[in-house]
Chains A and B, each alone.
Chain A
Amino acid sequence: MSDELERLEEILERRAREEPYGGILPIPSSTKIERLASRIYSFMRSIEEFLKKSQNVPKVRGCLLGLSLIVVCIVSLRDVNLSIGLLVFLLTLNFLFYPEMAMLISRFFTHVIYDLVKKGTIASILTPREIVEKLRSVEYIFFASLPLLVLVFFPGTPIVFTLRIIGTFTVVISAIAYYYLKMALECWERPTRRISESDIISLEFLVLVSIFIMAAVSLYLIMPPELASVYGWIITILSYAFISVVIAVPSFQAALHVTTLWRGIDTRRLFEEIERHVRWV
């Protein structure tokens, strides 16, 4: 039996050697075009996944609103009346496709701007749920006003000028609020995390600071030279708003850290008390 099996093995080996490529089909190597197509496909898939996520919807819709406003500005260079009509049409279109936009914009004014006017700072104590709600509206406004920074390079029609001023201020305020809310949410998720100076060197912070400064510099371009002192005043108030928020994050983290520790100590005491009084069977 074993001889027969050995014989069969030899025959199979011989047959395999006689086959082209030793009986093994070579894996076809993909061509350059196929590799490119595969990359494009995976890129499109990642975009699709990004768009499908519910937390990215405000960002995408915000970008669309911002781009619609840019289109309006381009048209306003040719015909102002047409651009006003287009503005109304595009705003209505944005609202019809994303009715939440009205709520997000109103929440930005009632929560973020009102907080700034009432307390003098954007930073406040919020629960994670409140942070998420606020973050969505801030993200929407931030991503909608970000494309408006390009308007610095546009010649000044009344519409461009108005949108330029609105865009610059909303970018600055929403960038500050965005940073605070993102960090506050992270503080809630990891209460024992320590905030240190190394957080300042993170990419996200650098990007946000760059956007904040870009908006401040674009304000410099908007301001007439006679109002240079008013620009100084605006820089002072914006810098104060920025620094008060940056400082609020470590304070918030420390408060969460301490209260979490206290809650932990209280819970341990409670269990010790229970252990003393309850007879375990």
Chain B
Amino acid sequence: MKEKAYLVESIRRAWLMNIINFYGLIILLPFYILTRGGVLLVFIYALILSTVGIMVIVKLSVRSARRFRIRVMDEINRRDILSIAYNAFYGVLIPQVSLLFVPIIITVTMAVSIVDIPVYIRIISIFTVFLALVLGFTYRNVRVIRMNIDYIFRYLRST
């Protein structure tokens, strides 16, 4: 029973993780744009988010939980083991991923745009930093994930 609950939880995490991150970022976009319009606009948007936004989010989460239940039940009934296994793996592995390179890239881009240097040096430096960070972090993330998958495989073979 414990394993089944963990399996469903992993699938739920895989399903929700992408949706929350994607739509969470979209909800945050107006903050970035409204900062140019002044503090008042940001405050109004924050007020809307904290009042109407909460109610909308509660409604959406209930709806998405229902949709998730229907989807998982459908997959179980259809014996779609590939989809279940994929989501279970993804749900277990995605929290291990480090996204630290994103704030570093943003800081570097902003810092480079403040410094008075020629455009081509600016582009080359951003490209180099971006490439090094993406490659380094992708390598690290895939390594961590490979180790976790190996661990899961060892567990599956032992049972």
A residues with CB within 8 A of B: 116, 119-121, 125, 194-197, 199-201, 206, 209-210, 212-214, 216-217, 220-221, 225-233, 235-237, 239-240, 242-244, 246-248, 250-252, 254-259, 262
Contacts and interface: CB of A to CB of B under 8 A. Distances in A.
B25 interface: yes
A212 B131 CA distance: 9
Contact of A251 (B22, B26, B90, B130): B90
A234 to B, nearest CB: 9
B64 to A, nearest CB: 11
Interface stretch (B1-9, B55-63, B139-147): B139-147
Interface residues of B, number: 53
Contacts of A221: 119, 123
Given A240-B99, A243-B97, A252-B86, 20 more contacts: A120-B18, A120-B20, A121-B22, A125-B82, A197-B142, A220-B123, A227-B36, A232-B109, A233-B29, A239-B102, A239-B105, A240-B25, A243-B99, A246-B142, A247-B90, A247-B94, A247-B97, A250-B93, A254-B152, A258-B156
Contacts of B82: 125, 255-256, 259
Contacts of B105: 235, 239
Contacts of A199: 142
Contacts of B101: 239
A213 B134 contact: yes
Nearest to B82: A259
A228 B23 contact: no
Dominant SS among interface residues on chain B: helix
Interface centre among A209, A214, A239 (most CB of B within 10 A): A239
Nearest to A253: B149
A35 B14 CA distance: 59
B22 to A, nearest CB: 3
A2 B68 CA distance: 97
7 contacts: A212-B134, A229-B35, A233-B29, A237-B22, A237-B25, A254-B89, A254-B153
A251 B18 CA distance: 14
Nearest to A213: B130
Interface string B76-119: 00000111011011100110010101100110011001000001
Contacts of A248: 90
Given A248-B90, A255-B82, A240 B102 contact: yes
Nearest to B142: A197
Contact of B127 (A120, A195, A213): A213
Nearest to A240: B21
Contacts of A213: 127, 130-131, 134
